[in-house]
Amino acid sequence: MNVLIVIETCFGNTQRFGEAIGTGLTGRGATVTVTPAAEAGPGALDGVDLLIVGAPTHSRGLPGPATRRMAVTQGADPAPTGVAEWLDAMPEYHGRAAAFDSVTGTGFLNGSAAKKIVKRLQRNLVQVSASDSFLVGAAEGPPAAGELERAEKFGASLA
């Protein structure tokens, strides 16, 4: 199985979760590529059996230009574009998909980038089979205790 994990990260937490998900999948025999959304070109989905998209939760949803600028004031180094822009320009894809996000809390008030990713994928007529949220201690991290292991199990469950 060929898996592409497209991520956006500001402080590195979402990338760490993406890599942990990838570890879970490679342990089940998958070939995994983790790539930043800003670097995923038009041919990125060629030959992909499973697409996984992940982003940090900003302002209860996906990061955008304003929230990326705010992250810079907190010491982050985000790419100029991310998952939202990639999904808007996403080429046609007919394989399975999953979504994940990093969040600082799980209540309604915290929101979820994963839910926004699922909606955008479905708008592109992509079948989404799973989504999950992984906790970080604060916007700049680190991942909460046990969350990287939980992300690895999530990846294994997708194989």
pTM for this predicted structure: 0.94
* Model confidence at 138: pLDDT above 90: no
In CATH, what number is assigned to the domain containing residue 13?
A: 3.40.50.360
In three-state secondary structure terms, 69 is: helix
Q: What distance in Å separates the CA atoms of residue 101 and residue 14, rounded to the nearest whole number?
A: 7
How many domains does the chain fold into? 1
- Tens of pLDDT, residues 109-136: 678 999 999 999 999 999 999 999 999 9
Q: Which domain holds residue 64?
A: 2-158
